[in-house]
Amino acid sequence: MLILGIDPGTATTGFGLVNLNGKGNEVVDWGLIETDKKLLKETRLDFIFEETLRLIKKHKPDVFVFEKIFFATNAKTVIAVGQAQGVMLLAASKAKVKVEEYAPGTVKKMITGNGRANKKEVQQHLRKILGSRVKSEAHKKTHFDNAADALAVALTHAFKIGEGVKEIV
């Protein structure tokens, strides 16, 4: 099963593609969809939509997984993230890819064992699970933390359906 995890945002969207191959969690691809903050919002959203479609067409995932939007204190940010998530959901729908969502606490609990873990703890556990498979020359300049949430949500789905491996094999 090929799982495309997404951490949506209008400036930077993280993505992580994990293949469950019976031997472990194979990291197929991960990275960012970045938009220019100087562009109009609708232009940025269109770019996110097109890049999401490109990712789906390139990799043909079986499922598209998001972390549910958690409302904090900044409504403006939540609205922007919701808009990015909306165009990505549209891309998944157009490509007829199944969509799943998980609460942030569920993702943290599945990855670290603690539903209140901070971002750094999630990243540390993610590296333990995925090992060197998240490092490559192609991503040398990419900050891992931008795609870590996407990989974490993809692995959460793998663990939830009982097919993911919680250790490096």
Q: What is the tens place of the pLDDT at every residue in 105-133?
A: 999 999 999 999 998 899 888 888 877 65
Give the pLDDT band (50/70/90) at residue 163.
low
28: enclosing H helix or E strand: strand 25-34
- Mean pLDDT for 81-106 is 96
Distances (CA, A) of 77 to 32, 72, 152: 18, 9, 21
Cross-strand bridge partners of residue 13 = 33
Does 157 appear as a known binding residue? no
pLDDT reported for residue 72: 66
Radius of gyration over every alpha carbon of the chain, rounded to an integer in angstroms: 15
Q: Active-site residues: which are they?
A: 7, 67, 139
Classify residue 18 by its DSSP letter. Answer: E
Residue 51 confidence (pLDDT) above 50: yes
Task: Quote helix, strand, coil % in the chain, to nearest 5.
Answer: 50, 20, 30
What dihedral angle (degrees, nearest 10) is formed by the CA atoms of 164, 7, 121, 128?
40
The class that CATH gives domain 2-160 is alpha beta
The torsion angles phi and psi of 2, rounded to 5 degrees, stand at -105, 120
In this predicted structure, what is the pLDDT of residue 168? 38
- 139 annotated ligand-binding residue: yes
**What is the pTM for the complete model shown?**
0.87
Instruction: Identify the pLDDT of residue 134.
Output: 57
Cβ burial of 42 (10 Å; 0-12, 13-18, 19+) is exposed
pLDDT at 94 over 80: yes
